[in-house]
Chains A and B, each alone.
Chain A
């Protein structure tokens, strides 16, 4: 391989760079928050020893019995050990949105309208899924 950049376009290289940074950040957050959770340094919303009583219930019943937050309500409980882990989960679930946003300027410079439209639709679908608007129809 004489020139590594001939295998990857500029937008690919930028996407890869942003993605790798986001993955490292999200993963570190997840590991640290999980450590705080299982060691009890941060008190959880649902006591960890109680979880096995409920994890065989369907998710909606688990939420009801344990009074766990749904939608984005978990943001208000990030001080709890179990809920803090969701920050890392959210970062990892969002990193592709940030990476796609990062390549839009490159598509704009090369006037690739189709790729811009596709990227914007993808970002919109992911934000829609993240927004919990769907809960109203569930």
Chain B
């Protein structure tokens, strides 16, 4: 049974906007430095925030799977925009959320060939190294610059999600020499067409360069990089879409370097990270089931609308509104 939600995709984003917009004067704390400013946000009981975070992340986890986005790309702008935590802790939380989601999914994807280890290893090596640089940059830059940059990146993701035409199985006439040397190729079972599909890749060097750039951004903003990994794998290197999505998850699980940087700097707060991780994982389990009854495109529109609101919100915070 397909639920016809196509006309109601705007409901969740509007609810999100109203709920946090009305509550913001009591909830949100300014990013200004100072003990006094921090105390202004403390008259709400401490347990409200982990509980709210769990609920929000549960909802995000539900929509992330059908929309094909990672938890981090939803977590950072939404939690950063509407909760009172400093962006350092939100980014640390976002990295952990993205990591745990990817770790949970990867074993199953590897076993059925929807994630490829030989494809993921060299890309992970590049992303892990560039993430470190990104994380260090992110922790040095002032919060207002990060908010503006985050807003721009999120809005770019919205444009990419809205316009990108991904190919289910790209036409790759011939594997390039680099991918042949690395033996990057595979086989998966396409359940939609009920046939096995062999695949190989091309433009490997260009793909590697793209992943270095992706790694820097991922480390800076704590987004996880699924939003960029999948288009890079699919549209640049010619990886079939399902394998691209699965291998992206594997790459995320292999590249915990930025998470270590945040952990070492004291930017991982258990009171933020743990409820977020548990909520997101539980939501993802529901999201997998939801994918059967709700059109993925409806969820995708919902997510794009939420990201649009969150991206504008980040820009506004950065410019001091």
Contact = CB atoms under 8 A, between A and B. Distances in A.
Nearest to B31: A56
Given A16-B110, A129-B258, A53 B270 contact: no
Contacts of B260: 93, 126, 129-130
Given A13-B110, A58-B33, A103 B271 contact: no
Contacts of B268: 86, 89
Interface of A: 1, 4, 6-9, 11-13, 15-17, 19-20, 22-23, 26-27, 30-31, 33-34, 37-38, 48-49, 51-63, 65, 68-72, 82, 85-86, 89-90, 92-96, 100, 103, 112, 114-115, 118-119, 121-122, 125-126, 128-130, 132, 134-135, 137-138
Interface residues of B, number: 82
A125 B37 contact: no
Contacts, number: 219
A55 B103 contact: no
Given A8-B112, A86-B268, A55 B257 contact: no
Contacts of B289: none
Contacts of B267: 59
Nearest to A133: B264
Interface string B153-192: 0000000000000000000000000000111001111000
Contacts of A115: 118, 121, 182-183
A62 B186 CA distance: 47
Contacts of B204: none
B103 A16 contact: no
B107 interface: yes
Contact of B38 (A30, A56, A95, A103): A56
Contact of A103 (B113, B117, B256): B117
B100 A27 contact: yes
B104 interface: yes
B117 A19 contact: no
Interface stretch (B5-13, B55-63, B132-140): B132-140
A93 B102 CA distance: 11
B125 A122 contact: yes
Interface string B65-79: 000000000000000
B35 interface: yes
A90 B263 contact: yes
Nearest to B274: A34
Given A52-B41, A93-B99, A126-B128, 5 more contacts: A16-B108, A70-B264, A112-B183, A122-B124, A138-B265
Nearest to B89: A55
Interface stretch (B42-50, B230-238, B298-306): B42-50
A135 B240 CA distance: 40
B151 interface: no
A52, A63, A90: most-surrounded residue (chain B CB, <10 A) = A52
Nearest to B125: A122
Contact of B187 (A7, A26, A126): A7
B231 to A, nearest CB: 23
B50 A54 contact: no
B103 A69 contact: no
Contact of A89 (B46, B84, B263): B263
Contacts of B92: 59
A97 to B, nearest CB: 8
